[in-house]
Amino acid sequence: MIEKLASLLVLVPVLPLLAAAAIAVTKRPHRQRASTLAIGAMGLSCLIAVSAFLAIAGAPEERLVRNFDWLHIGNTTIQLGWMLDPLSAAMAAMVSFVGLLIFIFSKGYMAHDENYTRFFGFLALFGAAMLGLVIANSLLLLFICWELVGLASYLLIGFWFHKPEAAAAAKKAFITTRVGDMGLLLGMVWLHAATGTLTFYTEGGEGCLQAGALDSLGAAGLTARLIAPATLIALLLFCGAAGKSGQVPLHVWLPDAMEGPTPVSALIHAATMVAAGVFLMARVFPLLEVGAAMHGESHSVVTPALTVITWVGAFTALFAAFIAVAQNDIKRILAYSTVSQLGYMFLGLGAGGVAVGMFHLLTHAFFKALLFLGAGSVIHGCHEEQDIRYMGGVRRWMPVTFATYAVGMMALSGVPLFFSGFWSKDEILHAAHGWPVSHIPFLMGSLGAVLTAFYMTRQVCYVFFGPQRSREGADHGKAAHPHESPRVMTMPLVILATFAVGLGIFGTPAWPWAQSFLEGEHAHLAFGHLFSGEVLAVMGTSLVCVAFGIGAGWWFYGRQPISSAARPDALEERFTPVFVALKNRLYVDELYEATVIRFNALAARFFDVVDRWILGGAVAVIGYLVVGFAWIGRFLEDHGVNAGFDLGCRGIRRGAGAGAALQDGRVHNYLRALGIGFATLLLLMTWGCH
Amino acid sequence: MNDLPAITLLTLLPVVAGMLLLVMRPDGVLARRIAVGTGFLLLLGTLGLWLGFPHGSAGLAFQERHDWAPALGIQYFVAVDGISLMLVLLTGLLIPMSLLTGKVPEDRPVLYYAFVLFLGGGLIGTFTALNFFHWFIFWELSLIPAFFLIKLWGGKGRDAAATQFFIYTMVGSIAMLLAFLALFLATGKFDFLSLAEMGQAGALEGALAGAVGWSGISGSGLAMLVFLGVFLGFAVKVPCMPFHTWLPSTYATAPTPVTMLLTGAMSKMGVYGLVRILLPIFPDQLRAVSPLLLGLALATIVFAAWSAFAQTELKRMFAYSSVNHLGYCLLGVFLVVRLDPGIGDNAVSQAALMNGVVLQMFNHGLTAATLFCLLGMLEQRAGGHESMGDFGGLRTAVPVYAGFVGIATFASLGLPGLNGFVGEFLIFRGAFGLSPWVAVLATPGLLITAIFLLTFFQRVFLGRLDERWQGMADLSTAERWLIAPALLLMLVLGVAPQLVLTTINPAVQHLIAAVTH
């Protein structure tokens, strides 16, 4: 059964791909057909993925691979393939399930859009690429899908392409992630050069993540004396992961990506695609571990690559949380929150291993999708208003949205015990606490947790509480107050909220089923773990952080209802310079504008000038030289060669005149000449014959 | 089958059809029909060649060899292997596509179509000839029609562009001719295969020293001079920086169908010459100057990408883009002769590199020609406007056109799933294995390409629709049928590159084995 499911797993990406192809040739008016195709394909994919997940849940130590030849180069073969293992099954199930809910939500959200058909086509394309990415058993196939999700992201961010901001954001997203992808490409070709394969696992043990290849990477190579090739390859791959997952310094594209329709933000820029970087690191984790020094009792593995990942993650987690505090766009707050949470995932992965990072990835996918869809519902209900200062009191008109949003907010903030986000974030802090290299990431993570609770409370206070503050002079021509969204939109919210709560059960320290599953082990129930000293200490810290964050948020924003949109932010009044800097996203975009982008533009101008004027000028000079020589030649000809020629001509003419004078037509003269000639000939012959 | 002189027939077909046109002098519409018909016959013929080719073998197929002037070492010798077959096929695809592009020219249509057909014959002849004598005739035969096509039917500034094009390529050709005459004096041979054998055995230096020793230059110096002469001929044609300045103005002023052939097929004559002639005959000389040449190749890749980013005229931008893409081919050819141990197995790296080069040639020909064809359609609709600033938001007015351009653009920037990616991946894989730093230094090219291509797409198609273009017509059915097959081929080659690698790989391996001993 599990063998058959492993073979069927290829259908998980192929079905949405076929749907995308079918929608591509569907005409614009056939809206219903387009959404049915996309949702149907995703539903079937979800069914297969969940079945595969359930099958492997019973046997987490299994790894079934299906490889096929793609290219024959020289005497080697490059294979592609897919696999069924706990990691791919969990991701495929999550992506297809969350994807399905978001597809359904989109049916309501995009109902009035002119390009509804195309929207579902792009969504299906994205689904196919993302699902292909998670089941790939080859770094090359993963890279191919990786770029294709980038394409889908480009198309969907720029879906409302007539908006110049959307078009700019789409380009920025593609190019910023491509910066990281250059690293990924180099890492990939290096890996292939060094190990001769890009297949992760084969049944014969020749894969690049299996013992043979890893041993050679740890030891041999050009750089063996300084750093093992494995470390450099891992860091190059991490460049790609950092680009896709919006880690500092490549995070700038993700907040701008919010120009896309909200379901897109939920699906691609919160739940699935942006987590692909974390997934990639989890997938190649054996490579990250090469050359690890084990540290005593703690389970932490420490390698240079993992250390870098941990630091980048911790820094991003804190950095983005700070910026989120001062944003006013409902989606941008969530976007920075996503950047921050992705930082947590890298922190967890670097300090605690695959399971820690991946569990947060899975729980985050549900509650962040929930929050984004909730935000979408609010935006929809508030007539496309996105600025939280112009909302307020929405809970009265949108009760379902409010209730589910509150669940998402508490899960993200990490409210204890009942919310999945608490357990997964707690695991990360726990891992950071036990990290033998430094305690600073733990402190950064804890401070980040305070900020997370704070900015989420601020947002909820602004949006759902207080009086309604709509824009002055805004004439919507509709009902003035917000309205609840239709069932097709609220139903996915409720389902996601259920998961945002329920998933936590699978990852408590007492029964760490999810973590064990992801590590390929069976879980054991042990309530004792819950009450061990260290676990309680970390849980206590995290509880204090959350309480402090929510409390402070309430103190500033909830205590007194925010009466008018014009009123400056409570924090802005107290800490103006800091707040303004944060509001301007710490000027990172401006910095890049002034450095990288300007450099690029200057280099372009420089080479254009070189081409046009210096090289072009040199060619022109040569051309003029040739013309100059031609002139000199002509001059010489006119006055030298031609003059001589003329002289010669004159001589010939004179000679010809003399010759002509001989032929004067008088016969006796001719006869005289003939006689003289004859006599001369006779004389010559008589004397000359001796 | 073997008795049929397939290659000769294929070469003569367009030439004879072109002559018939000149003799018959039909009206423009009929001339176009005859030319397009010939183009499709040519396509069918090249497909026949493809079907009859023994795929998976490294040898020469469809050989024809006849003595011509034995005393001078001149034979008529034509054949194809996996590498040349790809280019013959590319020519077969691009000639009909180019003939179908645009309207019948108002000025001297018969002459126009005859020249395009002559150009086609020259291309096929160049890609199949294996004796310098008639190879060079075909090489020049393709140059002359191209010159007149630019000069008589080009856009603004055509006289200057045509002259520049002609002089540049002529200088290259003369350098090459002199180099081959020196080789002939030294060896008495014009045959590429025999010359390659001598070159690989290191016998050229001695022969040159014997024949041209009076010059007082050492044998190795002479060999290097001859090498440089041949190199210059190809470097201009590809082009390799700094011999590229003829290209932007030429591509921008030539009529669209001619630009398609210039970038799609004629630029391949240069790379093909490097692969077929320079590399096998002069492996040692190439190895000796490879650091310098690699520098030029990297400059071609990165600087051309930057120059493209600075352009506002669309055709000039894509002209530089074309230079950038062929830079990867140059990189491959200059790197493959390396013998120093790299990372992993050098044989695998070299195979990846050269397979990538041949694939990139074909892919670039297809993609660049399609892009120029699409640009021509835009130029025609916009009444000659072709500056990026003139457009904006066109996707609203012409969604199908925008979609087609989008696919071709992403193929050009190397999106996996489309053709461009596979060649570039293989080139980077090979380059990294042989010399990691070269691969690292080439990556900015990929990035800048993405930047200027997406900027182009953004400024022309996205944002608000300029009122001037409100009524722009989307692609007609005929235009869709012209472009769609090319796009489909891009997709097929992106998903299943093995379809052509089966053909390319044996020939490439044969070549690598010969030049790396």
pLDDT digits (tens, 9 = 90+) for A226-251: 677 888 999 999 999 999 999 989 99
Check whether A222 has a pLDDT greater than 50: no
**Whether residue B109 has a cis bond before it, omega within 30° of 0:** no
pLDDT tens-digit map of A14-46: 999 999 999 988 888 888 889 999 999 999 999
Cis before A249? omega within 30? yes
Which residues on A lie below 8 Å from B421 (Cβ)?
144, 147
Chain B CB contacts of A143 under 8 Å are: 416
Nearest to A186 by CA among B352, B299, B419, B439: B439
Q: Is residue B468 domain-resident? A: yes
- In chain B, residues with a C-beta closer than 8 Å to the C-beta of A73 are 348, 351-352, 355, 426, 501, 505
Task: Using the Cα atoms of residue B312, residue B314, residue B320 and residue B325 in order, give the sign of their dihedral.
Answer: positive
Which two three-digit tokens encode residue B119?
């150009």
With respect to residue B226, please indicate whether it lies within any of the assigned structural domains: no
- The single-letter code of the amino acid at A429 is L
For residues A575-595, average pLDDT: 86
For A76, the enclosing helix (H) or strand (E) is strand A76-84
Domain assignment of residue B227, yes or no = no
Q: What is the largest CA-CA distance in chain B?
A: 73
Q: Which of B429, B458, B498 sits opposite A72 (nearest CB)?
A: B498
What share of chain A has pLDDT > 70, as a percent?
96
Contact criterion met (CB < 8 Å) for A74 and B242: no
* Selected residues 188-247 of chain A with any CB under 8 Å from a CB in chain B: 189-190, 192-196, 221-222, 229
DSSP A84: E
Predicted confidence (pLDDT) at residue A682 exceeds the cutoff of 50 = yes
Distance CA B264, CA B96 (A): 13
Using CA coordinates, name the residue in chain B closest to A164. Answer: B463
Residue B148 CA, chain-centre distance (Å), reads 19
- What's the pLDDT score for residue A224? 47
Residues of B numbered 284-313 whose beta carbons fall under 8 angstroms of chain A's beta carbons: which are they? 303, 306-307, 309-311
The residue-averaged pLDDT of A495-506 equals 88
- Structural domain contains residue B169: no
- pTM for this model (two decimals): 0.91
Confidence band (pLDDT; 50, 70, 90) for A690? low
Q: What is the 3-state secondary structure (H, E, C) of A287-352?
A: HHCCCCEECCCCCCEECHHHHHHHHHHHHHHHHHHHHHHCCCEHHHHHHHHHHHHHHHHHHHHHHH
Describe the crossing of helices A533-553 and A440-464 by its angle, rounded to 10 degrees.
40
Q: Would you say residue A223 has pLDDT above 50? A: no
The residue whose two tokens read 């692909």 is A276
Q: Is A623 helix (H, G, I), strand (E, B) or coil?
A: helix
Residue A475 pLDDT:
52
CA–CA gap between residue A575 and residue A542 (Å, rounded): 26
Residue B266 maps to a domain: no
Residue of chain B whose Cα is closest to the Cα of A596: B448
Of residues B104, B98, B183, the one with CA closest to residue B145: B98
CB B133 within 8 A of CB B190: yes
- Whether A311 shows a pLDDT value over 50: the answer reads yes
**B120/chain A closest Cα distance in angstroms:** 30
Q: Does B157 touch chain A (CB under 8 A)?
A: no
* C-alpha distance from residue A6 to each of A10, A55, A94, A120, A139 (Å): 8, 10, 17, 28, 19
Closest residue to B455, CB basis, from A171, A195, A221: A171
For residue A367, how many C-alpha atoms fall within 13 Å in the half-sphere facing its CB? 32
Region of A163 please: left (phi>0), alpha (psi -120 to 50) or beta. beta
Q: How far is CA B467 from the centre of its chain?
A: 39
* Chain A residues in contact with B429 (beta carbon < 8 A): 189, 192-193
Could you tell me if residue B491 is inside a domain?
yes
Nearest beta carbon to residue B432 from set A166, A182, A189: A189
Which residue in this structure is represented by tokens 């004879």?
B16
Q: Are A557 and A461 in contact (CB under 8 A)?
A: yes
With beta carbons under 8 A apart, name residues in chain A contacting B448.
600
Is the backbone of residue B62 left (phi > 0), alpha (psi -120 to 50) or beta?
left
Q: Which residues of A touch B464 (CB under 8 A)?
A: 162, 164
Q: Are A341 and A368 within 8 A, CB to CB?
A: yes
Asked if A576 is an interface residue toward chain B (Cβ–Cβ < 8 A), one would say no
Interval B176-196: pLDDT, tens: 999 998 888 888 888 888 888
The pLDDT score that the predictor gives to residue A477 is 47
If DSSP codes are grouped into helix, strand and coil, which group holds residue A207? Answer: coil
What share of chain A in percent tops pLDDT 90?
47
Q: What share of chain B is helix, strand, coil (3-state, %, to 5)?
A: 80, 5, 20
Pairwise CA distance, residues A606 & A441, whole Å? 44
Res. A106 pLDDT band, cuts 50 70 90? very high
- CA-based nearest residue to A243, from A271, A279, A274, A284: A274
Q: Which residues contact B324 (CB under 8 A, 6 or more apart)?
A: B300, B301, B304, B305, B308, B445, B449
Flag whether residue A15 sits within 8 Å of chain B, measured between CB atoms.
no
- DSSP 3-state assignment of A199? strand
| Rounded (5°) CA angle A160-A161-A166 | 80
Contact A236, A68 (CB under 8 A): no
Give me the half-sphere count of Cα atoms (radius 13 Å) on the Cβ side of residue A510. 8
Instruction: Show Cβ contacts of residue A575 under 8 Å, excluding neighbours closer than 6 positions.
Output: none
Angle between helices B219-237 and B158-187 (to 10 degrees): 150
Interface test with B, best of A77, A611, A621, A624 (most B CBs within 10 A): A611
DSSP B191: B
Q: Give bridge partners of residue A71 from the DSSP assignment.
A: A78
Q: For residue B268, tell me if it sits in a domain.
A: no
Q: Hunting for tokens 């978001």 — which residue is that? A: A102
**Closest-CA distance of chain A to residue B447, Å:** 7
Closest to B14 (Cα-Cα) out of B171, B125, B105, B100:
B125
pLDDT tier at B494 (50, 70, 90 boundaries)?
very high
Task: Verify whether the Cβ–Cβ distance B505 to A72 is below 8 Å.
Answer: yes
The interface residues of chain B toward chain A in range 235-264, judged by CB-CB distance below 8 A, are 242, 244-246, 248
pLDDT, mean of residues B259-270: 92
Average confidence score pLDDT of chain A: 87
ipTM of the complex model:
0.93
Q: Is the peptide bond before A29 cis (omega within 30 degrees of 0)?
A: no
pLDDT bracket for residue A299 (50, 70, 90): low
A369-378, B66-75, B237-246 — most confident range: A369-378
Phi and psi at residue A67, to the nearest 5°: -115, 150
Neighbours of A57 (CB within 10 A): 14
Token match 């390859």: residue? Answer: A233
Given a contact cutoff of 8 angstroms between Cβ atoms, the answer to whether B119 and B142 are in contact is: yes
CB contact under 8 A, A186 and B439: yes
- Name the residue of chain B whose CA is nearest to A179's CA: B447
Q: Do B348 and A175 make contact, defined as CB atoms within 8 angstroms?
A: no
* pLDDT at A349 (0 to 100): 93
In the predicted model, what is the mean pLDDT of residues B132-148? 88
Q: Which residue of B has its CA nearest to A168?
A: B458
- Supply B13's token pair: 């077909």
CB contact under 8 A, B433 and A193: yes
pLDDT over 90 (residue B490) = yes
Stronger pLDDT, A682 or B124, i.e. the higher one: B124
Does the pLDDT value for residue B433 go beyond 70?
yes
Nearest by CB: A185 against B168, B428, B436? B428
Mean pLDDT rounded to a whole number for chain B: 89
- Predicted confidence (pLDDT) per residue in B365-401, tens digit: 999 999 999 998 998 888 877 788 888 889 989 999 9
Whole-number pLDDT of residue B80: 92
Task: Say how many domains are in chain B.
Answer: 1
Range of the structural domain that residue B410 is part of? 289-517
* First and final C-alpha spacing in chain B: 35
Average pLDDT in the A337-366 region?
Answer: 92
Identify the band that residue B329 occupies on the pLDDT scale cut at 50, 70 and 90: very high
pLDDT higher for B216 or A80? Answer: A80
For residue B446, the chain A residues in CB contact (below 8 A) are 178, 182, 185
* DSSP letter (8 states) at residue B337: T
**pLDDT beyond 90 at A459:** yes
| B213 close contact with A: CB closer than 8 A | no
pLDDT, residue A474, reads 53
Domain for residue B131, yes or no?
no
CA atoms within 13 A on the CB side of B159: 0
Q: Do A186 and B306 touch (CB under 8 A)?
A: no
Segment of A470-479, A660-669, B3-12, B159-168 carrying the highest mean pLDDT = B3-12
